Amino acid sequence: MIISENNKPTLDEFRQLMIKTDSMLNQEAIGREDYYKGRNGTKLEEDVCDALTRCAMHTPFEGTIQLVSGATFPDIVANKFYGVEVKSTNKNHWKSIGSSILESTRDQNVERIFLTFGKLGSPVAFKSRPYEECLSGISVTHYPRYQIDMELGAGETIFDKMGVPYDELRKMDNPVAPVSRYYKQQLKPGESLWWADSDVEETVVPPTVKLWSALSPEEKNFYTVQGYALFPEILGHSSTKKYQRYALWLATNCGIINTNIRDQFSAGGRVNIVTAKGIFERVPAAYGRIDKYKELIVETLLSTNEAVLKEYWQHISISENRLLHWCKLAAIAAGTSKEECVQIYNLLRAIFNI
């Protein structure tokens, strides 16, 4: 990484860089609308990083722009102090789902973050704002995640509603607690927060059971990610045994019955996965799902109590790099030979860009 001699340019200087970058992206979008409409999240991060790099020339940020996307928040770092998170939608509006409120993968050197949003529906446009100024609420796709609205007015953020500043919330040991308290106060009769205060090591056996088909899409995402993270043998080659521990956990700890777990993880045949380390062609669909859920899997691994991981992974100790430890366990479970284990391990490392 290249480090500038000017250690900490001012916030105003970084704000001016973002304004200049927005202007460049919007000018380019006028004649390249089809190009931007075809960009996915990863590719758009590269576009924004390239624009930032060009706009940073002859400024204190020249030579310091670094793309660190993957399992790290934010996607782009400037001068080891400022950051840019890139989000987009292919619709003609300025709203989307953002990052986890836990920020467990945050670069601890980054103090101020801007959000660059690509509206990739006609007309294509770009807008950047300080991160905390465009977070309107909380959605749950696994752990609670921020809702993005790039057109929020002053006093309309989720932090204004809760009465807790962003910088205070993100530094809490348990940021979910004040969020759940706020949303519990908004509940109507008969409603509940199924995600609030959930902690796998303190799970109480539910008084009722329900079928997997009755779950909401958010709940299905939650339990699927839990399955991948806590039971890496799900990627195993033994079709009769690899789902047994997960199925038992799902029924006894969560009160959920899934009569067709295989489709949850492995249906779909073969897929191609594009990573920073190359394209992996015709791999089992289970790895495509891992690619889809990779950010959520990382959040789960980093936020789960170490004792819980030891229990479910059946290991005496957990490596400091939990993600790498998980990749090794999954590769060992999935491979039928030493060579295949190495291939799967390399695939997983490529997916998570580690």
The pTM for the full model equals 0.64
Reduced to 3 states, what is the DSSP secondary structure of residue 139? strand
Distance separating alpha carbons of residues 201 and 309, to the nearest angstrom: 10
b/e burial code for range 139-161 (CB count within 10 A of at least 16 → b): ebbbbbbbbbbbebeeebbbbee
Sign of CA dihedral 48, 30, 11, 168: negative
- Give the sign of the dihedral formed by CA 30, CA 31, CA 36, CA 37: positive
End-to-end CA distance of the chain, in Å?
16
Contact partners, residue 27, CB within 8 Å, separation at least 6: none
Q: What is the 3-state secondary structure (H, E, C) of 243-269?
A: CHHHHHHHHHHHCEECCCHHHHHHCCC
How far apart (Å, rounded) are the C-alpha atoms in residues 148 and 267?
32
Q: Encoding tokens for residue 227?
A: 């399955």
pLDDT by residue for the chain (354 residues), tens only, comes to 233 344 679 999 999 999 999 999 999 999 899 999 999 888 999 999 999 999 999 999 999 999 997 768 999 999 999 999 999 999 999 999 888 898 888 999 999 999 999 999 999 999 999 999 999 998 865 568 899 999 999 999 999 999 999 999 999 988 988 998 898 888 776 555 656 544 434 444 555 678 999 999 889 999 999 999 999 999 987 666 888 889 988 887 788 999 888 888 877 788 999 998 999 999 988 899 999 999 999 999 988 888 888 888 988 788 889 999 999 999 999 988 999 999 999 999 999 998
Two tokens at 60? 């204190």
* Contact of 225 with 289, CB cutoff 8 Å: no
The whole-angstrom separation of Cα 329 and Cα 340 is 13
